[in-house]
Amino acid sequence: MAIVEIDNITKSFGSNQVLNGISLKVERGQVVAIIGRSGSGKSTMLRCINGLETIDGGSITAAGHKLTAKHDGLIELRKDVGMVFQHYNLFPHLTVEENVMLSPRIVKKVATEKTRETAIKVLKQVGLDHKRDAYPEQLSGGQQQRVAIARSLAMEPQVMLFDEVTSALDPELTQEVLKVMEELARGGMTMLLVTHEMEFARRVADITVFMHQGKVWETAPSKEFFADPKTQEARQFIGAGNIK
């Protein structure tokens, strides 16, 4: 019962082939960490799942929505597949509550009062209900990233994608964001996360996917992967001081 199924996808930017026959299945409720060196295709794969990049070949099915090279049905897809980025992309002229309410109101046509109730609920979930009336510039980077997570949660997605969401944060703020993500994982949210936080991947992710040269190079249960990587490339990556 895979909720995300990636079948032999390819993606090139000009002459640079970034994804070279990627296949991956994610079960409902699984947390999957995607790791690897810069340029291995991790973020591109995630962006393809959410339709931000078109695939050249193969297919992706996410939460019942099939993506092909034609790039159809993105609005319906994004109702069910949320994405949180490295940069928070909050609207500076809107309050925290208004930022969180915006997508359900515009994309899902939910009534304003209902979206406000949802905003309060998800802001409480990320520990920021007391900041409802604040503007983004009044928040720390970690708080802004937690608002970005709440904004995605407000759409009630079946799957959430996280693309290097802590890489712009200092260690203290990183930990507050990772704590929210860990609580989401405990609550059964299906999550795919591109991350450099190896200890978080080992401890929280059910499966770790190691990407190399645009391919899924190695996949294993996280504790097994970090204890004994099977490929030389994965061993070198883990051994290069990547576990914090």
pLDDT of residue 70: 67
pLDDT surpasses 90 at 152? yes
E-strand ranges in the chain read 2-13, 16-27, 31-36, 57-62, 65-67, 81-84, 159-163, 190-194, 207-212, 215-221
Residues 103, 84: Cα–Cα separation, whole Å: 14
Tokens 């203290």 belong to which residue?
Answer: 172
pLDDT per position as a tens digit, 60-118? 999 999 987 666 678 889 899 999 998 888 999 999 999 999 999 998 898 999 999 99
Give the per-residue pLDDT at 69: 66
Domain-embedded: residue 140: no
Partner residues linked to 193 by β-bridges: 33, 162
What is the predicted pLDDT for the residue at 9? 94
Nearest to 133 by CA among 148, 145, 119: 119
Which residue has better confidence, 75 or 227? 227
Residue 120 lies in a domain: no
Residue 123: its H or E element: helix 112-125
Structural domain of residue 37, as residue ranges?
A: 2-89+159-242
pLDDT in tens, 163-184: 999 988 888 889 999 999 999 9
Across 42-59, average pLDDT: 93
- Residue recorded with tokens 């802001």: 123
Rg of the Cα atoms in the chain: 18
Looking at the chain, the whole-number percentage of residues with pLDDT higher than 70 is 96
| pLDDT range class, residue 52, cuts 50, 70, 90 | very high
Residues 6+ apart with CB under 8 A from 17: 10, 11, 214
Burial class of residue 15 in the structure, from the number of CB atoms within 10 Å of its CB (0-12 exposed, 13-18 middle, 19+ buried): exposed
Determine the length of the chain.
Answer: 244
List the CATH number of the domain containing 84. Answer: 3.40.50.300
Model confidence at 27: pLDDT above 90: yes
Does 229 reside within a domain? yes
Q: Which amino acid is at 194?
A: V
Give the whole-angstrom CA distance, residue 152 versus residue 156: 7
Distance CA 131, CA 97 (A): 8
Task: For residue 33, list its beta bridge partners.
Answer: 193, 208
pLDDT above 60 for 244: no
102-150 pLDDT, tens digit each: 999 998 898 999 999 999 999 999 999 999 999 999 999 999 999 999 9
Q: Tell me whether residue 133 is in a domain.
A: no
Domain assignment present for 153: no
Tokens standing for residue 188: 């059964």
Check pLDDT > 90 for residue 1.
no
Tell me if 137 is assigned to some domain.
Answer: no
Query: 147: helix, coil or strand?
Result: helix
Report the domain count for the chain: 1
Query: Do the domain assignments include residue 97?
Result: no
Question: Does 222 fall in a domain?
Answer: yes
